[in-house]
Amino acid sequence: MPPLFLLASILLSFLCKCQGDSIDDVCSNSRNPSLCDHTLRADVRSRGASLRGLGKIILENAQSSTQATMDVAKSINGNKDNKEIADICIKICNFAIQNLNDCQALLKARNRESISALKAKAMTALIDVSACDDEFAASEPPTLRKATSKAQDFISMILAVANRL
């Protein structure tokens, strides 16, 4: 009986180590490893999750942070000096959200074409959100800069997952 218990303990520790390694592998290749690690370890769904499961958690955060970026752009839209640029940022964020929504089905697929499409959609969303920074340049309000940075961080995590599928 003790050898069976020992074998089970070793297998469980190996499985736990693999899960930790999946989070470490994804997060170490993202734009903001500490945000990635904190987000995944704080979410109970990440315990025992596959790479695709981690990707789903990250994708949800990318969608909500991109929506938050759009909400910040809408809130500064009333400023006459920034109205035109804010309108562009809102449109760009909408495109980014559409691309992130497309990532949901692609993340589940297991063929090479879908994984390539996932990478392309995530990269396009990243470029879209980055365009808000470019549009405002030095006049970008700090709240928008913070929101776009967070969205970019989460979208880069999707790319880190996609590169491991």
pLDDT at 3: 55
Nearest of 141, 123, 137 to residue 73 by alpha carbon: 141
Q: What share of the chain is helix, strand, coil (3-state, %, to 5)?
A: 85, 0, 15
Angle formed by the axes of helices 51-75 and 83-108, to 10°?
Answer: 170
Has residue 12 got a pLDDT over 70?
Answer: no
Q: Kindly state the percentage of the chain with pLDDT values over 70.
A: 87
Q: What is the pTM of this model?
A: 0.84
Q: Which two tokens stand for residue 29?
A: 């290749």
16 CB neighbour count, 10 Å cutoff: 12
Decide which of 94 and 133 is more confident.
94
pLDDT tens digits, 76-99:
877 777 888 999 999 999 999 999
- CATH numbers and ranges of domains, the chain: 2-42+51-162 (1.20.140.40)
Nearest of 44, 43, 39, 48 to residue 20 by alpha carbon: 48
Dihedral sign of CA atoms 124, 128, 131, 133 in order: negative
Question: Mean pLDDT over residues 125-129, rounded?
Answer: 97
Nearest of 141, 135, 140, 130 to residue 31 by alpha carbon: 130
Distance of CA 16 to the CA centre of its chain: 23
Decide which of 3 and 35 is more confident.
35
Q: Which residues contact 10 (CB under 8 A, 6 or more apart)?
A: none
Measured CA to CA, the distance from residue 154 to residue 57 in angstroms comes to 10
Measured CA to CA, the distance from residue 84 to residue 87 in angstroms comes to 5
